[in-house]
A and B are shown apart, each in its own frame.
Chain A
């Protein structure tokens, strides 16, 4: 590896901690600049907040294009609950603006304070409120992308699937029109149980309750680390004041929830995975994880778990993927594929990605070596 001796070192990695090497870093202030960069360069790595966990914006000699300064609100229609933005805008900054109108963009990854709308669209981010609000793509009206020739093209609802969740391999998403949701008062409760079967029963019973917007799960080990009762715990968010934790207590528990992965990473469990499973298969997976001393938490309401592996445990990841597939789950529920999960795609999935890539970026200009 080339030893970079410039401050561009900071762009050689993201939250995945995989190390790459940028040939150049550019931080455009206008969309015009982005189109020029695309026209003039052969290998482009789009980057938003750099919170991706699969190495999606880790460069291998290409030009990193940091879109953080393209963060303007272009148009806001309060009555129709729609907003047009440049995609470098940070989710929480957008929601701070919308708070004045009692509206919000409701999809909420735990990285909401720093992740950008562009990164969320590119990974089709899910987050803790998925049970009620689904994925990011559900809230997109249209996007504008810059294609490999540097042309700006608008893609309507029916065409966005070539870009949402494609992790920047098909073009740079530069503007988006987003649908908004009314902001509601929220509260939360914690339910603790000794047996995993009781936890699954509770989730099955409450997950269709429209008052509930989040069902988060923490296994016994994670619960202990977070200072919760050392049992299996569910954190349930209500879109009403039905929960016991309100106001400051609600804010505190939500912020603790957002810190779960960093706290585990600090204890050495820094490799986070995100399999998605049917609820009736999840306890099998949890038993396997416990037997292997792999702590886990996740958005149980939608079947996404986050097992976190220490360096020594990483060799067990292929086993995890095999088990997930055997139990008819998906190897990634929200973080994407990037560099880390390429090897776990099956032939059909690979072919699908390859054909979308070919259709949109035949010269392999955007984010090469990612996903496929």
Chain B
């Protein structure tokens, strides 16, 4: 299975939590951090289940999520 990770831009995240509702593998949760605008932000759990499907990023209104595919290099 494809492996992935996301990076959340905490300055853009407004804590709408739409990404949490879209992630099929429950890799995103509400954090206890607040950004400089006073918004509670989300965080990536990094459970190894992210498959870089981009559903969270596509649905994020504020373009606050970057998605990466992790490619294992064969030796």
Whether chain B is bound by chain A comes out as no
